[in-house]
Structure 1
């Protein structure tokens, strides 16, 4: 048993330092896997992507606004959902009749 084996720095400090540095590299690898998986999930089939982009051009804010202007909201009634203790079917039917 030499003086190096009795040193607290070698006994506790070096393993702690290795744990911190090794943990840092380990966390980097795990987070990189996470981002790689997200990148793979975002990829879409090129045919489907082309079809989606083609349909996206047809819908505009102006066309949706025109649809809303054509609707008649004067006779619209707000019907709330039932409470947990109320029967949903009978309550909604009762509100629709009034």
Structure 2
């Protein structure tokens, strides 16, 4: 049988086992500290109940079918792509020019 002296001289037992214990123990400890961090973030993100109810109602009222109906009724055949003004262009002047080009001439 192995004696205690033989185990103390064994490099695996002397260095490997403590290393494995530190790695596995460290992962569990890190998990606990990370959980504290996420719990604190969750507490800070709490919304006012009235605001939270309003947000939930807004997200539920937007349905894909309703948006589809809005887009179906839109006239997409008569649109024209108008670019915005460049930073060096006068935006008001450029918008007036574009409006003149796009208005139907009688």
TM-score grouping bracket, smaller chain normalisation: 0.5 to 0.7
Question: Which residues in structure 2 correspond to 1:1-80 (within 5 Å)?
Answer: 2-55=5-58, 61-62=65-66, 65-66=69-70, 69=73, 71-80=74-83
CA distance in 2, matches of 1:59, 1:4: 69
**TM-score, length-scaled by structure 2:** 0.51
1:1-40 CA-to-partner distances (Å, cap 9, x unmatched) read x544422123211221222221221232133234324533
Provide structure 1 residue ranges, at least 5 long, that are not aligned to the other structure: none
Question: Between Structure 1 and Structure 2, whose CA radius of gyration is higher?
Answer: 2
CA distance in 1, matches of 2:72, 2:48: 34
Provide structure 2 residue ranges, at least 5 long, that are not aligned to the other structure: 102-106
**TM-score, length-scaled by structure 1:** 0.53
What root-mean-square deviation, in Å, do the aligned CA atoms of Structure 1 and Structure 2 show? 3.9
Judged with a 3 Å threshold, the aligned counterparts in structure 2 of structure 1 residues 57 and 7 are, in CA distance, closer, same or farther, namely closer
Tell me how many residue pairs correspond in the alignment. 92
SS in 1 for 2:9: coil
